[in-house]
Structure 1
């Protein structure tokens, strides 16, 4: 497998970043749902948010790297058998996912820094508050974060269903490409 994308398939960097981001997003979503239900005396009451914030900031850096890589190594063109509406829809969905991810992560950052305190990332380094103490920011950012994360999950699920539709119904190479696999050879009819 090549490092960079080519006309037919995605390269190892794009494939790795795609699946890393997907797994981390769903893990963070699950952790977020879990941690908001924790009681004050639960052992994970303080640890879960620390992990959520730390992983979220590392994910933000990863998504920014992924966007830079997309410029340096553009994705392959859609298969020729895709309809124009499918190509346009896929493009809009991809950019909407990037935008929603950025909104979710930035709003998460704003929730955590609304009191003016920095975020400790696994106690390796800290990310300072850019806003200082802002009254009401935590609630506003919390609402944006809630809806943006749900939108990411719903759109990612539709994205996955579309890939499965292309694989099982259309029988094209859309899903194979994001795994970095070579296109199927056309079967010869006798």
Structure 2
């Protein structure tokens, strides 16, 4: 498998970014949902938020690299069989997910740094506060973080269902390409792949 994308398929780096981000987002959402009801004496009361913050900062770095890689190695073109509205909705969904993820990560960072403290990442390094102590910022950022993360999960679910629809109903190679699998058939050079990076 090539490292870079080509006109037909996603490369290894784009696939790695896609699935690494997908797993991190699902894990962070699940952990965040679990942490809400933790009691003060629960061992995960402090461990959970520390892990959540650390993975969140690393995800921000990965997403920044992924966005850069998208410009260095553009994704394949949509499949010729896809309808215009499918191409437009896939494009809009993709960029909406990018925007929502960055809003979720920045708001999460602001929750933790609103008191002026830095955010430690697995004791490897710390990200300093850019806001300093700001009264009320934690609550505002928390509200944004809550609703945006639910929006991410909702949109990602629609994104996944669309890929499944393409695989089982349309019987095209959309899902196979993002899984790194060979196409069902050998497409002609004019046929690309759906942009689900």
Give TM-score scaled by structure 2 length: 0.93
Q: CA deviation at 1:13?
A: 0.3
Distance 1:129 1:20 in 2: 27
Distance 2:148 2:14 in 1: 24
Distance 1:183 1:47 in 2: 43
Q: Do the aligned partners of 1:111 and 1:139 also contact (CA within 8 Å) in 2?
A: yes
Hey, what does 2:51 align to over in structure 1? 51
Hey, what does 2:35 align to over in structure 1? 35
Matched residue count = 186
For the residue of structure 1 that corresponds to 2:120, the secondary structure is strand
Hey, what does 2:153 align to over in structure 1? 153
Structure 1 unaligned regions, length at least 5: none
Q: Are 2:123 and 1:119 equivalent residues in the alignment?
A: no
Q: Are 2:83 and 1:83 equivalent residues in the alignment?
A: yes
Distance 2:33 2:184 in 1: 40
Give TM-score scaled by structure 1 length: 0.97
Distance 1:148 1:65 in 2: 22
Q: CA deviation at 1:27?
A: 0.3
Structure 2 unaligned regions, length at least 5: 187-197
Residues 113-134 of structure 1 show CA distances to partners (whole Å, capped at 9, x for unaligned) of 0000000100111000000000
Hey, what does 1:97 align to over in structure 2? 97
Query: Aligned Cα RMSD in Å?
Result: 0.7
Higher relative contact order (CA 8 A, sep 6+): 2
Q: CA deviation at 1:76?
A: 0.2
